[in-house]
Amino acid sequence: MSGLFAALSSAVAWLASVIDPLCGPIGIFRLFGSGTLLACDNAGWGDEISYGFMITATLAIATLPVGLVFGFFIALAKQSEERSLRLASNIYTTIFRGLPELLTLFIVYYGLQILVQQFLASFGYDGPVEINAFVAGMIALGVVFSAYCSEVLLSAFKAIPRGQYEAGDALGFHRGKTMRLIILPQLVRIALPGLGNLWMALLKDTALVSVIGLPDILRQTGVAARVSKQAFEFFAVACLLFLILAMLSSIVFSALERWTKRSEAGR
Amino acid sequence: MSHAETMIPPQPAPPGIARPFTAQRLIGNIALGIWLAASVGLFLLMVDGWDPEKFAKYGPSFISGLGVTLGLVGASITLGALLSLPIAFARMSKNKILGWAAYAYVYFFRGTPLIAQLFLVYYGLGSFRPQMEAIGLWWFFRDAWNCALLTFTLNTAAYQAEILRGAIQSVPRGQTEGAAALGLPPRVAFFKVILPQALIVALRPYGNEIILMIKGSAIVAIVTVFDLMGETRRAFSRTFDYQMYVWAAILYLIMVEILRNLWAWLEDRITRHLKR
């Protein structure tokens, strides 16, 4: 079993090294950066920054589905007829939309550490506990994302007329099927611009995880800046990489929006 | 002939239909229970770890940190509002170069993380110390607070320019034409006709922007400005007491909630004439 995992992870690593847009065989740094500070060998910082780029992109992409699913269920809870459910979900959004993302990150990172430590201490283990920064970042960003996401989805839910649910009833669908076949396709179409904005915010928030030591773009460029004493150049590269990520995602999102609106094109 | 011989005796109302105990209710009660348990747990943690000495030592520094946060956000929002005016007009101008430059400015500041911009200004510009000293600007960039103010002002100006532009463009064309028909000069028409209507649209996004700035300002703690977050980090690094973060969270939540309610009241107030 472990052999399978090792094979899988090495296959993924190989794939990542081939499609790496910065230091892969046709990467930007490989083509234009050799001999400079951004070279992909041991002399330059290209490979480190490329690794950070991958970490940032991975963190954002890994957080997205978690936050979306969680946000969807919170949006459902917010429009439930049950008062306790509404109250509980409103408390959730109030807290996590009001706290600074950095503070949420610290609370999750140190709080988890303390919780796990106390949990293990009850089993008689007193060693130091280190929480994985990637997991802590994913939880903190996912929680914040889901809080905002629930608001976007809630307003999208409100834009869908009651008649659509009644149509589902008239066709004899049960609630899950109505949701899946009738409501969700319209929901995606309405919520997509808002979700696009949230994705951009998520992408920018991933820069905060550099503070708890995850080697993302900002951390790697920061290390490079400190060692090479060329802070401006390296932080400009960091900003540029984030800009590239933002541009790529706006292209993807406008394509998605066109795709969801394909049935409306004639009108 | 039949008529009622006796009155029907008064009867109690029929019993209400008992609310069924649905799965939703179960989940809702469990979720509320979790919140209750968490708040009681935090409360006990704070009572348990309550230390008057710590409170006397770090309480004042929390207050001063709060002051630094509010001052920084207030100053950068105000300066950003001033700076956003020319940017918004450049963005709307017919001049291609001006419009393009303003677009590039806005795109850069909205497309990159605030923390990366802060590092670019504080560490990046800080590495040009000899040049700065030559032109006499070093005193400004030497201080982390100034760098944070500059970064936040530039950043919020980009966001506020977009808010302003969207709001101004949301005012129908007929309003401009109507003002022109009444013979109002363009300047008067803008300030007396267009802007008041635009500000109603812009109010809510402005409130969101201020809240975003309050939350975003926490990152100045990383470049050694002792705002609320910075004081919290300092206190935590000295005491390793987790409740420092809880205190900071409560203070931030209070700030944001006050602002949110204030904004809801403001919006209610200035849209009185639109209510039916």
The pLDDT profile of chain A, 267 residues, written as one tens digit per residue, is 567 777 777 777 777 766 677 776 666 666 666 667 677 776 678 888 888 999 999 999 999 999 999 999 999 999 988 889 999 999 999 999 999 999 999 999 988 888 888 888 888 887 777 888 899 999 999 999 999 999 999 999 999 999 999 999 999 999 899 999 999 999 999 999 999 999 999 999 999 999 988 898 999 999 988 888 888 888 999 999 999 999 999 999 999 988 888 877 555
- What is the CATH superfamily name and number for domain B60-270? MetI-like (1.10.3720.10)
CB contact under 8 A, A208 and B219: yes
Question: What is the average per-residue pLDDT within B50-79?
Answer: 91
Q: Do A156 and A187 contact (CB within 8 A), yes or no?
A: yes
Amino acid code (one letter) for B116: A
Q: Do A198 and A52 contact (CB within 8 A), yes or no?
A: no
| pLDDT of B2 strictly over 80 | no
Q: Is A96 on the interface with B (CB under 8 A)?
A: no
pLDDT higher at B128 or B1: B128
Query: Which chain B residues have a beta carbon less than 8 Å from that of A206?
Result: 113
Tell me what pLDDT residue B239 has. 85
Strands (E), chain B: none
φ, ψ dihedrals at A120, nearest 5°: -70, -30
Helices (H) and strands (E) in chain A, counts: 11, 0
Amino acid code (one letter) for B60: P
Q: How far apart are CA B4 and CA A215, in angstroms?
A: 89
Helices (H), A159-230: 162-170, 175-178, 184-205, 217-228
Q: How far apart are CA B9 and CA A177, in angstroms?
A: 51
| Residues 176 through 205 of chain A touching chain B, CB cutoff 8 Å | 200, 204-205
**How many C-beta neighbours within 10 Å does residue B50 have?**
10
Q: How far apart are CA A64 and CA A217, in angstroms?
A: 18
The minimal CB distance from A236 to the residues B114, B124, B249 is found for: B124
Amino acid code (one letter) for B176: T
Mean pLDDT estimate for chain A: 87
* Length of chain A measured in residues: 267
Task: Please give the C-alpha separations between residue B43 and each of A153, B167, B247, in angstroms, as whole numbers.
Answer: 33, 44, 11
Considering only alpha carbons, which residue of chain B is nearest residue A241? B112
Which of B237, B239, B215, B241 minimizes the C-alpha distance to B228?
B215
Write out pLDDT tens, residues B117-145: 999 999 998 888 888 888 888 888 888 99
Residue with token string 């002002």? B153
Q: How far apart are CA A29 and CA A47, in angstroms?
A: 9
DSSP annotation of B224: T
Tell me what pLDDT residue A32 has. 65
Helices (H), chain B: 23-48, 52-92, 96-111, 114-119, 129-135, 138-142, 144-170, 173-181, 186-189, 195-216, 228-239, 243-270
Tell me the two tokens of residue B47: 């009572």
End-to-end CA distance of chain B: 55
Query: Which chain B residues have a beta carbon less than 8 Å from that of A84?
Result: 25, 28-29, 31-32
Residue A227 buriedness (CB in 10 A; 0-12 / 13-18 / 19+): exposed
Helices (H) and strands (E) in chain B, counts: 12, 0
Tell me what pLDDT residue A35 has. 61
DSSP annotation of B227: S
- What is the CATH superfamily name and number for domain A44-259? MetI-like (1.10.3720.10)
CB contact under 8 A, B245 and A111: yes
Query: Which chain A residues have a beta carbon less than 8 Å from that of B216?
Result: 100
**How many C-beta neighbours within 10 Å does residue B91 have?**
22
Domain ranges of chain A: 44-259
Which of A212, A240, A74, A204 minimizes the C-alpha distance to A149?
A74
Tell me what pLDDT residue A195 has. 94
Q: How far apart are CA A94 and CA A83, in angstroms?
A: 16
Q: How far apart are CA A194 and CA A114, in angstroms?
A: 36
Considering only alpha carbons, which residue of chain B is nearest residue A93? B253
The minimal CB distance from A218 to the residues B25, B116, B125 is found for: B116
How far from chain centre, in Å, is Cα A75? Answer: 19
Question: What is the average per-residue pLDDT within B72-88?
Answer: 95
pLDDT class of B74 with cuts at 50, 70, 90: very high
Question: What is the average per-residue pLDDT within B4-8?
Answer: 85
Tell me what pLDDT residue B212 has. 93
Domain ranges of chain B: 60-270
Amino acid code (one letter) for A134: F
Tell me what pLDDT residue B1 has. 61
**What angle (nearest 5°) sits at the alpha carbon of residue A205, between those of residues A201 and A207?**
135
Q: How far apart are CA A68 and CA A147, in angstroms?
A: 10
CB contact under 8 A, A238 and B116: yes
Q: How far apart are CA A99 and CA A96, in angstroms?
A: 5
